[in-house]
Amino acid sequence: MLSYQTTASQRIFTFLGLFGILLLFASGIGESLSISSNVLTSSALAIIGLAIFGYTYASYAPYHSGIKNNANVLKSLTQRGVWAYVSALVLTAFYVVLYFFDAYLEPMIRGFDFISQSLSGKPATQWFVYGVLYTLAILLFGVKFIVKYRHSRYQVIRTLSVMFFQLIFAFLLPEFMARLNGDLPYYDLKSMWPLNYYLFDGYYIESFVSAQTLGIGLLIFGVLSIFVISPILTYKFGKRWYCSWVCGCGGLAETAGDAFRHLSDNSIRAWKLERWMIHSILVLITLSTVGVVHSYLLEHPEEYWLSPSVFILSVVSLLVAVVGLIYFKRRAWIAKDAKTAMIIVGALLAGFTGMHFLSDTYHVFLIPSHSLRSVYGFFVGSIFSGVIGTGFYPLLGNRVWCRFGCPMAAILGIQQKLFSKFQITTNSGQCISCGNCSAYCEMGIDVRAYAQKAEPIKRASCVGCGICAEVCPRGVLRLENTSNPNQQA
């Protein structure tokens, strides 16, 4: 039987990393050992960093640059062996405690107070600790990814980009803004609605409004991001500008999740499930967000110039305009996916119409909109995106959430499929059908099938990570922004 031996240095750095993680969880008991928890937390983070850098050096530095997925299909951790299940269990347990039993993390959280105080002037919360660990994971594994793909300019630049956006936009700026204006809610500037599903909740809007100019500016920026900035960038570059260059979920998947990308299921069955799941979640978040804003306007009739009915009619008009545009410009696509499109639009229109004609209620399909929103927050926002989306990397691959759950990816995917210059071109004459591209596509796309037919790849789910092109031994695949966005796959 084939086996894979890690080198002695890799083993030493792995144990060092595990020791650092244990030390981090033990940092809260530092005071009882007469050791400052600041010292223990800083030491634990430094040890974890050293372990990842050391492992990276031992794995890649002695060799020439080039693709190295050596023995990925033989290692227990990356081929659903015992270590994969143990890791998934530990990660999932961490998420469950973080979301639902944070009191158990209290001693560890206090160990992060000194970092939080120095940034925002406030004591640390469990979300601050999560933010530090999440950002560190992207930065440290980002360095590992850059060293691994150092021969590829595209991979190096896009990884620097996700590291920058996570560190500055998602972590440092919100902390500094909280120091500047205590009324401001936490706001990750790059996290747009519907990924940031609470952006239009009543308490969020009130916090923005009470933070005056800065808050209102951020609210306007949030609306512009989804309706103006994102469509323009997706038209020019495809959804990769967000999913592979900016987004924190994508950033973690690309860096910490790199070793698991081959675990994505690329069967037709998985593709069908993906399309139903991601579009159902898009419908659910759209209905619940409109319902929550509608209810908020009903509850505050005197405070805003926008009445609940005008709001609903505006949303319906926008939806009709978008569907009309798609129908006239991309009729062929609608014909192919007519059933799905009709169900999506029908469910949305029925929900909006119900809200309008029963406008003295707070319900969406007889469910109170706040309850619908809470159900979404619990099952999709917490369980799916956090517990399953990250905890299950070693079992289901690194893009489970992006592929099956993220409503932002669904919107960007529809734009990419219908109105974008981005596509992957193929040169079938060179293809030797090795299947590397399909095996390493983290979104489960059967890239080889397109390459064999010499068809350009213009799939809604493609995040433009470019790994298919990197692992192709024959240079068959090219990521391009064509001048002809009408070309359909």
Q: Tell me whether residue 136 or residue 437 sits nearer to ligand SF4 (CB atom).
A: 437
Kindly state whether residue 448 participates in binding ligand SF4, applying the rule CB under 6 A: yes
Residue 257 interacts with ligand SF4 (CB under 6 A): yes or no: no
CA–CA dist 149, 60 (Å, integer): 10
Q: Which residue lies nearer to ligand SF4 by CB, 58 or 243? A: 243
Q: Which neighbouring-strand residues pair with 457?
A: 424
Provide, rounded to whole angstroms, the least separation between the CB of residue 426 and ligand SF4: 7
Query: Which is closer to ligand SF4, CB of 205 or CB of 447?
Result: 447
Q: In this complex, which beta carbon is closest to ligand SF4, that of residue 67 or of residue 367?
A: 67
* Number of residues lying near ligand SF4 (CB under 6 A): 28
Region of 98-106, 219-227, 316-324, 437-445 interacting with ligand SF4 (CB under 6 A): 437-445
Residues in Cβ contact with 368 at an 8 Å cutoff, skipping those fewer than 6 apart: 295, 362
Segment interacting with ligand SF4 (CB under 6 A) among 107-115, 305-313, 357-365, 429-437: 429-437
Q: Applying CB under 6 A, does 435 fall inside the site for ligand SF4?
A: yes
58 binds ligand SF4 (CB under 6 A): no
Return the number of the residue (140 or 445) whose C-beta is nearest ligand SF4: 445
Angstrom distance (rounded) from CA 354 to CA 457 = 39
155, 146 Cβ separation under 8 angstroms: yes
Smaller CB separation from ligand SF4, 108 or 451: 451
- Candidates 163, 431, 446, 485; binder of ligand SF4 (CB under 6 A) is 431
* Pick 162 or 445: Cβ nearer ligand SF4: 445
Interface map 456-485 toward ligand SF4 (x if CB under 6 A): -x----xxxxxxx---xxx-xx--------
Residues 134 and 145 sit within 8 Å (Cβ to Cβ): no
Minimal distance in Å, beta carbon 20 to ligand SF4? 32
- For 361-389, give one letter per residue: b (16+ CB within 10 A) or e: ebbbeeeebbebbeebbeebbbbbbbbbb
Q: Is 140 one of the binding residues for ligand SF4 (CB under 6 A)? A: no
- Rounded to a whole number of angstroms, the minimum distance from the CB of residue 155 to ligand SF4 is 11
Best CA proximity match to 480, nearest among 461, 466, 467, 470: 466
Backbone angles phi, psi at 80, to 5 degrees: 55, 40
Our finding on whether 445 is near ligand SF4 (CB under 6 A) is: yes
Q: How many other C-beta atoms lie within 10 A of the C-beta of residue 244?
A: 28
Determine contact, residues 392/412, Cβ cutoff 8 Å: no
Compute the least distance from the CB of residue 481 to ligand SF4, in Å: 13
Of 312 and 443, nearer to ligand SF4 (C-beta) is: 443
CB hemisphere CA count around 46 (13 angstroms): 6
Quote the least distance from Cβ 277 to ligand SF4, whole Å.
17
Answer yes or no: are the C-beta atoms of 188 and 196 closer than 8 Å: yes
443 near ligand SF4, judged by CB under 6 A: yes
Using the minimum distance from each CB to ligand SF4, give the nearer residue, 405 or 466.
466
Decide if residue 402 touches ligand SF4 (CB under 6 A). no
What is the spatial distance between Cα 135 and Cα 49, in angstroms, rounded to a whole number? 12
Candidates 24-32, 360-368, 384-392, 441-449: pick the segment binding ligand SF4 (CB under 6 A). 441-449
Contact (Cβ atoms closer than 8 angstroms) between residue 399 and residue 443: yes
Binding flag, residue 441, ligand SF4 (CB under 6 A): yes
Place of tokens 């808050």: 215
Among 249, 436, 446, 458, binds ligand SF4 (CB under 6 A): 436
Q: Tell me the backbone φ, ψ of residue 442, rounded to 5 degrees.
A: -70, -15
Q: Judged by CB under 6 A, does residue 433 bind ligand SF4?
A: yes
Give yes or no for residue 67 binding ligand SF4 (CB under 6 A). Answer: no
Q: Is the CB of 165 or the CB of 422 nearer to ligand SF4?
A: 422
The CA distance from 249 to 384, in Å, is 12
CB of 430 to ligand SF4, least distance (A): 7
For ligand SF4, which stretch binds (CB under 6 A), given 43-51, 333-341, 402-410, 445-453?
Answer: 445-453
451 touches ligand SF4 (CB under 6 A): yes
Identify the bridge partners of residue 478 per DSSP, sorted by sequence position: 425
Structure-token match 């990814």, residue found = 145
Q: Which is nearer to ligand SF4, 354 or 466 (by Cβ)?
A: 466
- Rounded to the nearest whole angstrom, what is the least distance from the CB of residue 440 to ligand SF4 in the complex? 6
Chain contacts with ligand SF4 (rule: CB under 6 A): 424, 431-437, 441-443, 445, 447-448, 451, 457, 462-468, 472-474, 476-477
